[in-house]
Amino acid sequence: MNQSWNRIKWISLCVCLFLMGIFPAFAGEDVSQAQLLAMLKEQAAEIQKLKEEVARLQSPQSTPSANSNSPLANMRPEDLTALVTEKVREETRAQRESRTMDAISQSLFGLEFHGSITQAYAVSGDNNYLSIDTEGGSFALMDATFNISKQMTDKLRGGMQIYIRKFGEEQDHAFEIDWATLDFHWRDWLGIRAGRVKTTLGLYTDSQDLDMVHTWAFAPGAIYDPASRGATISHDGVDIYGSIPLWRAGMLNYTAYIGSTSLPDYDGYLASTRYTGMDTDNAEVPFLGGFDLNFQPEGLLTGLKIGASYAAFTYDIDASGDMTPEAMQSFLGTQTGYAEINMESSEHNGPSNISTAYMEYQRDRFKFMAEYRRQYIDAIVTENFRSMNAELSRRDEEDTRGWYVGGSYRLNERWELGSYYSSFIADSGADHSDPGNYQHDLALTVRFDMNPYWYIKVEDHIMRGWGISRNYDNADREEQWNLFVIKTGLSF
């Protein structure tokens, strides 16, 4: 079964890459440019031919007998010029219509295709960046998307996107359906999306993977932890959304959603469970509901977006297996004498939520953004140590805080500079001076756009603490460390 599934995934990937490779034919852009050039050449030849004909007919040397057979012979010069112009115009229109039909068939009857691919190289001092072996320099950072969509009627649109990612040891070219939605845009103030929908939560949760639209190479980890991406990136359910104009004041945008999701295998929390020697049997988020509300004023403050998001969720995680002595020692803080401990664990949370406040200001070449997020989890964890014939039940409360401020400036068509400072506290109730409980990150990025489709980013991070990392990421740690990234990407 697994082999078949893997085969399907790789065949799909090859099809996507093939389609990306022949994109110009689908997009019609290069084709239309070539066609336009050919058309202009044909037009020039036609005009030249007709001009020569007019000149010959109007020449004093031309004999009446030579002219008498031509319909152009008795026409006035201005009529001849009008005729030439009209003829060229007619031919141009016919050619264009013919080529437009070609372009329509090439875009497969209104289907629209887009895709992207990125590859990064990261090297760090002292600490690994999450599960990636960046201390030794690593290329294990790649992702790709491919989407297809169609505007079915003026109100109904459908589409889907696949997402493939290599992210350190946790995610090895894993393939997933990123979104697959039907979107009914009934009015500007009310629309409905259903299916697998990208979750609107804060500024960039839904666009955190879209490297081509951001200045940074790595998003601020205090809020957009790439190892925990899967928990909030999308949900299977229904969204309602809309934009309500507030007379002369601006626009109020809202999104409300309800659905469910599941934690993917590569999720950082599940990966840390695997590290203990146990297997995850179930990792579901049976309920996820929330809303986002933001205001975009008009007038002097055009370009400002200020808003807040809230999401409530429940989750169930069940794991079982043989916990390693090292993990057991780390867990209990003492040696047990057991070679391995067979156990099962279940974690069910009570009222848990994520709340975010944010603002973004874009004006001409300048962009500024700031965001604050709190994640509160209140869970009951039950552990049955079967080898020891003991059961332990505890309440696990986690109050995570993160924020960042950042900005970017586009110097010219190709160069852009950006920077952000992000701060993360893993548990606000714990010691804030413990480097394992915080992570501060100062990032500076230079972005160079080769053309509208291809870019390169060079980014340096100065880090303090390792609060975002998991236990298995590093054997030894240093409080101060740095991370250097080079990333390139293509999109169409």
Catalog residues that contact another protein under the rule CB under 8 A: 32-33, 36, 112, 114, 116, 123-126, 135-137, 145, 147, 149, 151, 154, 157, 159-161, 179-181, 183, 185, 187-188, 193, 197-198, 206-207, 209-210, 212-213, 243, 245, 251, 253, 298, 302-303, 362-365, 367, 410, 412-416, 446, 448-450, 452, 456, 458, 478, 480-482, 484, 486, 491
Least distance from another protein to the Cβ atom of residue 114, Å = 5
- Return d(Cα 123, Cα 482) in angstroms, integer: 8
Supply angle C-alpha 22, 24, 25, rounded to 5.
70
* Residue 154 near residue 187, CB atoms below 8 Å: no
DSSP for 221-243, written as a single string: TTT--GGGHHHHSEEEEEEEEEE
- Return d(Cα 142, Cα 205) in angstroms, integer: 19
Least distance from another protein to the Cβ atom of residue 419, Å = 17
Query: 181 or 273, CB closer to another protein?
Result: 181
- Region for residue 310 given its phi and psi (left: phi exceeds 0; alpha: psi -120 to 50; beta: otherwise): beta
Neighbours of 360 (CB within 10 A): 19
Query: 65 or 412, CB closer to another protein?
Result: 412
Query: 164 or 319, CB closer to another protein?
Result: 164
Query: 197 or 328, CB closer to another protein?
Result: 197
SS3 assignment, position 421? strand
Question: Position of tokens 């993977």?
Answer: 209
- Return d(Cα 168, Cα 266) in angstroms, integer: 10
* Residue 418 near residue 424, CB atoms below 8 Å: no
Query: 113 or 403, CB closer to another protein?
Result: 113
Least distance from another protein to the Cβ atom of residue 434, Å = 21
Least distance from another protein to the Cβ atom of residue 299, Å = 8
SS3 assignment, position 482? strand
Least distance from another protein to the Cβ atom of residue 410, Å = 6
- Return d(Cα 167, Cα 116) in angstroms, integer: 16
Least distance from another protein to the Cβ atom of residue 166, Å = 19
The rounded radius of gyration (Å) of the Cα atoms in the chain is 30
Q: Which of 215, 196, 210 is nearest to 257 (CA)?
A: 196
Query: 135 or 398, CB closer to another protein?
Result: 135
Sign (positive/negative) of CA torsion 166, 172, 177, 179?
A: negative
Least distance from another protein to the Cβ atom of residue 397, Å = 33
3-state secondary structure 4-40: HHHHHHHHHHHHHHHHHHCHHHHHCHHHHHHHHHHHH
Least distance from another protein to the Cβ atom of residue 377, Å = 26
Query: 213 or 390, CB closer to another protein?
Result: 213
- Return d(Cα 70, Cα 84) in angstroms, integer: 15
Query: 157 or 165, CB closer to another protein?
Result: 157
Sign (positive/negative) of CA torsion 4, 6, 9, 13?
A: negative
Least distance from another protein to the Cβ atom of residue 391, Å = 43
Which two structure tokens, joined as six digits, stand for 449? Answer: 């756009």
Query: 317 or 483, CB closer to another protein?
Result: 483
Least distance from another protein to the Cβ atom of residue 463, Å = 11
Query: 54 or 256, CB closer to another protein?
Result: 256
